[in-house]
Structure 1
Amino acid sequence: MPAQVPVVDYLVLEPEPRLKAVACSGCGADFLTRRNACASCGGADFADKSLATEGSVVAFTIVHRAAPGVAVPFVSAIVRLDDGPIVPGNLIGVDPTPEDVALGMGVRLTTFVAGTDDNGVEAVAYAFAPRG
C-alpha cells in the first residue's frame, strides 16, 4: 500500500478513518483545529477526542462553480455527528440534485485519494456518503 497523508490535521487514517477534535477541558467545546484558547469559555487546556463516524445532514448546497480542475456540480454539506459536533464535508455517492439530498439524511464518514505526489504519496481526504 502506498504511503498516505491526510489532507487536514483532524483526519486520522489509522487504524480506521475518523475525525478528531480538540476538546476544551473546561467546558467540553469541540474544535477541529488547534486552539490557543477556547472560543466558548476562554480556557487553554485541551485534549484530543475521537468523533463519531456517522451523523446527519443539517445544511447543504449544490455547488456549480469551483476552482479550475474541481468537478462540478457537487454537494457541500454541514453534518451533525451522532456525538454532537457539527463538521463540514462534501457528500459523495449521491446525485447533486435537490431530489437526492435531504435535511436529516443519515451519512457516514468515508475517505478517498485526492491526489498523488511525484513520490507516490497519496493525499487522502474525507467526505460523507449516505448510510446504507
Structure 2
Amino acid sequence: MNVAQVPLVDYLRLGEGEPHLVVHECQGCGARYFDRRNACARCTGDAFERAPVAREGVVVSFSIVSVAPPGLEVPFVAVMVDCGGTLVKGNLRGTAPEIDNVRLGLPVRLTTYSLGVDPTGAEGVGFAFVPADAGERDV
C-alpha cells in the first residue's frame, strides 16, 4: 500500500527527486520569499518564479527552547540556517538539545520526518535540519 505524503508546509517539495524547499524569487532583484507575494518588498517588482533552496547550509542563529505550548516536546533547538544565501527557520534534530552540541557555523543539511498517518492513510511530513555529518538515520 502506497501512503500519500502531505508536506506540512507548501514550500516543502516531496516526490520531485530529493526532498527540498522552494521559494518565490523576484525576477527583478532576486529577493526570495517563502510565502506568495503580489509585489516584492525590496524592488516592488511583481514577477516571481519558483526557485529551489540549497539543501545544505550553516547555522547562523539558534536558541534552545525549554518552554513551549502544551503538546510540544521540550527542549528542542530552533535554528536559522543560511542555505546558500536563503535564510530558513527550522529545528535542529539528530543531536541532543544541549549547548555543547550546537554552534554558529555548524554545517547542516535538510531532512524530513513523519508527523504521523491519519485515518485515511495520508502521512504528514515535516522538515528540519540535522548536522551535516549525521548518518541517514530516521531523525
TM-score normalised to structure 2 length? 0.91
Q: Distance in 2 between matches of 1:67 and 1:124?
A: 21
Give the AA of the match of 1:85.
Answer: T
1:87 positional shift: 0.6
**Equivalent residues in 2 for 1:25-64, closer than 5 Å:** 25-64=27-66
With normalisation by structure 1, the TM-score equals: 0.96
Provide Cα deviations, 1:35-58, integer angstroms capped at 9, x if missing partner. 111111111110000110000000
Alignment of 1:17-32 (within 5 A): 17-32=19-34
- Map Cα deviations across residues 78-100 of structure 1 (whole Å, 9 max, x no partner): 0000x210010100011111111
Name stretches of at least 5 consecutive residues in structure 2 with no aligned partner.
134-139
Amino acid at match of 2:36: R
Aligned to 2:95: 94
- Corresponding residue for 1:131? 132
2:49 match: secondary structure:
strand
SS of residue in 2 equivalent to 1:99: helix
Selected match of 2:80 from 62, 78, 81: 78
The alpha carbon displacement at 1:116 in A equals: 2.0
Identity among equivalent positions (%) equals: 50
Residue 16 of structure 1 aligns to a residue in which SS? coil
After the TM superposition, list the runs of 4 or more consecutive aligned residues in structure 1 that deviate by more than 6 angstroms.
none
2:14 matched residue in structure 1 = 13
Structure 1: 5+ residue stretches without partners: none
Deviation at 1:115, TM superposition (A): 2.6
Q: What do residues 14-65 of structure 1 show as CA deviations (whole Å, max 9, x unaligned)?
A: 2210000110000000111111111111111100001100000000001111
Q: How many residue pairs align between the two structures?
A: 131
Residues in 2 aligned to 1:73 and 1:31: alpha-carbon distance in whole angstroms: 29
RMSD across aligned C-alpha pairs, in angstroms?
0.8
Letter of the structure 1 residue corresponding to residue 102 of structure 2:
V
